[in-house]
Chains A and B, each alone.
Chain A
Amino acid sequence: MFYLVLEQPERVGALFSAVVRLIFCVSPTLFTSKTVNPKSKSSMFKTGYIINPKLDMVWFLGLPFVAVLAALGAQAWLPFVAVASINLWITIPHHYATWVRTYGMPEDWSRFKERLILGPIIIVALAAAGMVWAPITLLLIVMAWDHQHSIMQQHGFSRIYDFKAGTGMSNTGKFDLTLHWILYSFMFLNAPMFRNLWIRELYKLEIPLSVQFVDILLLSSRVVLAVFIPIYIWHLWKTLRNGESLNPIKYAFIGASYFLWYFAAWHTNSILLFAIAHRLMHGLQYIVMVYFFLQRKSDQGISQPGLWSRVSGQGRLKWFLIGGGAYALVVQLLINRPLDEFGFGVVNFISYQAVPEFGLAGMDYIGGYELFAQTMISAYALVHYYVDSFIWKVRDAKVQVGL
């Protein structure tokens, strides 16, 4: 099955076509499972991909399932600190990808300059005010925006699928966005893990809810979902009736994404599972998207070079990844968090035990960090001594040229 998905992705489209044929009772002669020219309007199903069939199968259709397996493994064998490690390895580098795309790309910098300067100032001011006067509100805003951002990312990928295949109608984007909001909100309201969260936060704001009110709210969310699903199917039917096509890969992608979210969210004993699975999917898909976007720009050769062109394009993947890792390292040091967080709770880089032979007591975290900082300063000095020992030889003819 995996071979089929990876090697012959068009077969997946064919399977999907068969299912839809059953639902809509449409003649099989109207279907094609092969990738077609997006401009052609002769088929009801057209497949288009974000990158290409193989890579889409790995990063956009297969990744959610792998992420769930990885999260289940983490739940079984790793401590909770693994969430912080995933944050460092995936989430922080995915921010770096954004900075490369915006501040490191002259084309985008000049296009969005005003927003790229004002935006951070306004947001940092909001965060600072929140920290001082309303920390719970700040936390709620971060969480709420994170959820909205997650919805919009998957919606954005859905739009790319339609764009690449030339499928859907002019209002399909709005229907898709509504579908995403309703599916995600249903999960947020109904999954026990999230229920605990939002009910508690409302209590903190002295907005107590009764069980009856929560029950009515949950019932309403189910009614909205039950009403909207037929409306969405009607939209698909109308799309086909209007002679437009559907991209089955888009629906496979949406299905895979919601499989991850719903499976993880209803795993009530484990916030760890949701946190790891979600971060893997969201962060990795974003990094992949940015990298291939930049690579295509690089291949076209029409964009002005910048930081982006140094870390992307043919043969430069390693620099993109090294840049992301280095960025995570710098962030961790700047916020004064232990480097051990990279280690999934398995590796402890630093352990400042007592050394009675030298009369040294064991150190607390602050003492340990000071020792680390002092070690780094000493190490830089040692490197300086070492380099100077061979670059300043006056007998060296090449040095003499510069003297």
Chain B
Amino acid sequence: MTWLRRYRILVVVYSIGIFVGLREYSISQTREQPVDFLTGEGSMFTDVMIGVNPEDPDTDFLKAMRALSQADEEGFSELLEKALSAEIKHNELLLQFHAQHLLNQGAETEETNKALNRWHDNFPFSERHITIQFATGPTTPYDALLLEDALSSIPWIADSEFDPYTQDSSDGWRLRIKFRRGEVINIGLLTEVSSWESLISTE
């Protein structure tokens, strides 16, 4: 009993850990992906959060994502703006998603830069990336090298990957970039060009 008294906190922690861990392990064996709260799968969670935390900006973000999954573009934009107007800094997913959404929508460069820098300032060590779409991409290794050099000379790009969405590149190309901390992003350098060749010629 002395032994039990001496190690009782570890016994309690281990017992809880085994109990909850077995539950998690059994779930992980039946699911391929964890629950995605930002899709229809997380709809019940969103309902509960609307009920218990109606004024929380994080709840507005969940509601916005649900509106998007229901193709309610107007509701989505309105709710996303409401969440952002609370000046929250902790929700990286929200900040990154907002910037990516503006890029996808072809929003004004100034507005997109503001969103990107807001995300990047709050999470300078983030490993998440932003995707920019291009219609075509380099077809020879030499062109690919020239493009890589051109991208690496942009101060705010820490890492980049340029590849086709599908193997035959019929769905276009994507440029995935990670940002370098301490640098101000000017995404117009990549979005205000007519094609990927312009990036090389600019260089």
Contact = CB atoms under 8 A, between A and B. Distances in A.
Question: Do A and B form a real pair?
Answer: yes
Interface of A: 75, 79-81, 84, 114-115, 118-119, 122-123, 126, 129-130, 133-138, 140-141, 144-145, 192, 195-196, 199-200, 203-206, 208-211, 214-215, 218, 268-272, 337-338, 340-341, 345, 348, 351-354, 356, 361-365
A215 B52 CA distance: 8
Nearest to B26: A206
Nearest to A76: B87
Contact of B152 (A80, A136, A195, A361): A361
Q: Which of B16, B28, B57, B181 has the most CB of A within 10 A?
A: B181
Nearest to B45: A203
A137 B20 contact: yes
Interface in B9-56: 10, 13-14, 16-17, 20-25, 27-28, 34-35, 37, 42, 44-45, 47-49, 51-53, 55-56
B176 interface: no
Give the top 3 A-B pairs by smallest Cβ distance, nearest first: A348-B182, A211-B51, A134-B21
Contacts of A361: 148-149, 152-153
Interface size on B, as a range, is: 35 or more
B183 interface: yes
14 contacts: A79-B122, A133-B21, A134-B22, A136-B24, A195-B52, A196-B56, A196-B58, A200-B45, A203-B35, A205-B24, A270-B88, A270-B89, A340-B124, A348-B182
A338 B6 contact: no
Given A199-B45, A270-B88, A134 B153 contact: no
Majority secondary structure, B binding face: helix
B28 to A, nearest CB: 8
Given A203-B37, A340-B181, A80 B123 contact: yes
A208 B89 CA distance: 28
A354 B155 contact: yes
B178 interface: yes
Contacts of B163: none
A345 B124 contact: yes
Interface in B61-113: 86-90, 92
A205 B125 CA distance: 29
A114 to B, nearest CB: 8
